[in-house]
């Protein structure tokens, strides 16, 4: 049976994706306009140095295909990304898959350490008024200094005590990712209604029973909301940590090499790889959230 135009327009998938597609289309048009405007003087200067005549169309074509543009056109970035992913073996040093895997390993380890630290701190804060007053100001202050300033200090100090390779990058990721988890879990653990807490006390429930039966189930939505933020911050921390170490592998290393040699297309393709990686990680956390919610009795 043929699908009518009205049925196609009212399809849930079409209705959900139309606003996203429209925004992406507008951004691509703006990007192309920006590429033309920013690369125009660069291409015109090339023609003038060679004393070669040029037309307006040749100028526009030049802005779309410059080897080292100030702002690469979208199709140049997509082409470099596809070439970096599929043009080389996954273990080749020029492969974006290879560099993404290096950054991903530090991201996941840092995320696990940050999540564990964040939950432990939240539990300590919720169960101790003294720790709440003493730890919370320091936890908040820990995020006031830019990680770009702290990362070299971390690398030097950790290197002095013999920690090199994956672990220093993971520690920087954990340093960034523990904060949203701590704040979110403190909010989640304290979210039960006071009447529910009083009811648990009337049943002579222990602190462990209150935690497992009331506080923890109430904190699950806050946990996954925090994890979605933390996983992206952990990825940023891993990339930033690769910059001061002079790493030869990783998305940060690709960004650094691109900036050294003026390879803006390489820089943008590495950024696209980071965006794809972050989207995949958030999707995995979202999938885990739906599965946990289903097990807890939520409607799908």
Select the more confidently predicted residue: 114 or 149: 114
Cα dihedral 144, 147, 150, 154, rounded to 10, equals 130
- 8 A C-beta contact, residue 75 and residue 64: yes
pLDDT of residue 208: 86
Q: Mapping DSSP to helix (H, G, I), strand (E, B) and coil, where does residue 263 land?
A: coil
Distance, CA of 66 to CA of 60 (rounded, Å): 10
- pLDDT at position 230: 93
Closest CA to 103 of 172, 179, 175, 180: 172
Counting beta carbons within 10 angstroms of the beta carbon of residue 229, is it exposed (0 to 12), middle (13 to 18) or buried (19 or more)? middle
DSSP-assigned states of every residue in 134-166: HHHHHHHHTTSS-HHHHHHHHHHHHHHTT--TH
For the chain, give the mean pLDDT.
86
As a dihedral over the C-alpha atoms of residue 127, residue 132, residue 136, residue 139, rounded to 10 degrees, the angle is: -40
In whole angstroms, give the CA distance from residue 298 to residue 294: 5
Task: Please state, for a pLDDT cut of 90, what percent of the chain lies above it.
Answer: 34
Question: How many angstroms from the chain centroid is the CA of residue 283?
Answer: 11
pLDDT single digits (tens) 264-285? 999 999 999 999 999 999 999 9
* Residue 1 confidence (pLDDT) above 70: no
- The stretch 13-31 carries a mean pLDDT of 87
Q: Is the pLDDT of residue 41 over 80?
A: yes
Mean pLDDT over 92-105 rounds to 90
What's the burial of 110, exposed, middle or buried (CB within 10 Å: 0-12/13-18/19+)? buried
Q: pLDDT tens digits for 178-202?
A: 999 999 999 999 888 888 888 888 8
């Amino acid at each position: 049976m043929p699908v009518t135009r009205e049925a196609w327009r009212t399809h849930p998938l079409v209705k959900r994706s139309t606003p996203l597609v429209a925004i992406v289309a507008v951004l691509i048009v703006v990007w192309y306009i920006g590429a033309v405007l920013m690369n125009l003087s660069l291409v015109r200067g090339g023609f003038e140095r060679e004393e070669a005549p040029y037309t307006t169309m040749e100028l526009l074509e030049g802005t779309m295909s410059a080897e080292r543009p100030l702002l690469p056109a979208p199709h140049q970035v997509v082409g470099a990304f596809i070439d970096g992913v599929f043009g080389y073996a996954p273990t080749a040093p020029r492969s974006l898959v290879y560099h993404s895997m290096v950054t991903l390993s530090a991201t996941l380890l840092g995320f696990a350490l940050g999540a564990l630290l964040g939950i432990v701190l939240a539990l300590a804060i919720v169960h101790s008024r003294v720790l709440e007053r003493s730890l919370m100001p320091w936890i908040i202050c820990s995020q006031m200094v830019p990680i770009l300033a702290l990362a070299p200090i971390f690398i030097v100090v950790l290197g002095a005590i013999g920690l090199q390779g994956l672990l220093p990058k993971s520690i920087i990721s954990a340093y960034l990712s523990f904060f949203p988890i701590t704040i979110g879990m403190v909010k989640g653990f304290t979210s039960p209604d006071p009447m529910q807490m009083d009811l648990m006390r009337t049943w002579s429930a222990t602190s462990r029973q209150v935690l497992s039966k009331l506080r923890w189930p109430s904190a699950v939505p806050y946990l996954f909301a925090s994890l979605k933020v933390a996983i992206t911050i952990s990825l940023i921390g891993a990339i930033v940590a690769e910059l001061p170490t002079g790493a030869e592998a990783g998305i940060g290393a690709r960004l650094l090499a691109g900036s050294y040699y003026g390879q803006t297309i390489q820089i943008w393709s590495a950024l696209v790889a980071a965006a794809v990686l972050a989207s995949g990680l958030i999707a995995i956390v979202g999938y885990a959230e739906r599965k946990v919610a289903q097990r807890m009795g939520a409607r799908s």
